[in-house]
Structure 1
Amino acid sequence: MMIFLKIEEISMLFLSFYVSLLLGYEWWLFILFLFTPDISMFGYLLGKKIGAAIYNIFHYKFLAVFIGIIGFAISIKELAFAGAILFGHSSFDRLFGYGLKYSEGFNFTHLGAIGNKNNENRNN
């Protein structure tokens, strides 16, 4: 099962890259901005609960799609690009097991505990 989920995340990552190209952005700009949503990790300086909330806002795919659609709808390509980046970044993270966070701490995600080999064995 895990292989199908990884293929799905890779597909969504490539889709976001393709959308950024359709918007007229150079490929290297996508790469450059792909990791900018990780600035949300600084929210953990304010504590686990606030950190998880801030991190999740920047990694919630619905919000990424919403931002992208609004950008397209009102013809602001920078906003559409931001949505594509957020969407692609979230897919990239989930590909490697970094899911939405629980307030217990950074390592506790909706995909299981980060670094817990039992998660991988259970999901294969």
Structure 2
Amino acid sequence: MDAHAPPAHGAVIDAPRRWLRLEGALVATVATLAYAKAGGGWGEFAAWLLLPDVALLAYVAGPRAGAMAYNLAHTAAVPLALAGAGLLGAETMALKAALIWWAHIGFDRALGFGLKYPSGFGDTHLGRLGGRATIHPPCPASC
């Protein structure tokens, strides 16, 4: 992105964007290391790592449904609740699943895949995917 180009609506730019991507890399790293420490197997990790992306199928129903499903599957709140339940109930599988989920979210953020706007898959809180930022009209009240 051009350092002087205006961001897409709601997109973070410049240093804050770099910090958020670095934060994603750290989340991915720590979640992966914690998963290993919890005794998880790498075959299981690899098999489940991309599961949150099944939410992309909701884009078949349109960009609004796709963004809603994607964002639900890519926010830290859901795996946080799962990890809490796993810790409180001493359920190792729930904790390992949450760590894999966090690793996925972290990898996505590190690569620049942010939470989606209903205007289209490429419109994220970390900027427009696939190239330079484009200027969008203000998000309508229905966003």
TM-score (norm 2): 0.74
Larger deviation, residues 63-72 vs 1-10? 1-10
| Alignment correspondent of 1:14 | 29
| Alignment correspondent of 2:115 | 100
Once the two structures are aligned, what percentage of the paired residues are identical?
29
Aligned length: 119
User: Aligned match of 1:88 in 81, 103, 112?
Assistant: 103
Note the residue ranges of structure 1 that are not aligned, 5 or more in a row.
120-124
Note the residue ranges of structure 2 that are not aligned, 5 or more in a row.
1-14, 135-143
Provide the secondary structure at the position in 2 that maps to 1:42: helix
The amino acid of 1:102's aligned partner reads Y
Please tell me whether residue 70 in structure 1 is matched to residue 70 in structure 2: no
| Alignment correspondent of 2:5 | none
CA contact (8 A) 2:57 2:66 kept: yes
Give the whole-Å Cα distance in 1 for the aligned partners of 2:22 and 2:99: 18
Superposition CA RMSD, Å: 1.8
Give the whole-Å Cα distance in 1 for the aligned partners of 2:123 and 2:66: 12
Deviations 1:17-74 (CA, angstroms, capped at 9, x unpaired): 1221222212332233211111110011111111111111110012222211211111
Q: Which has the larger radius of gyration?
A: 2
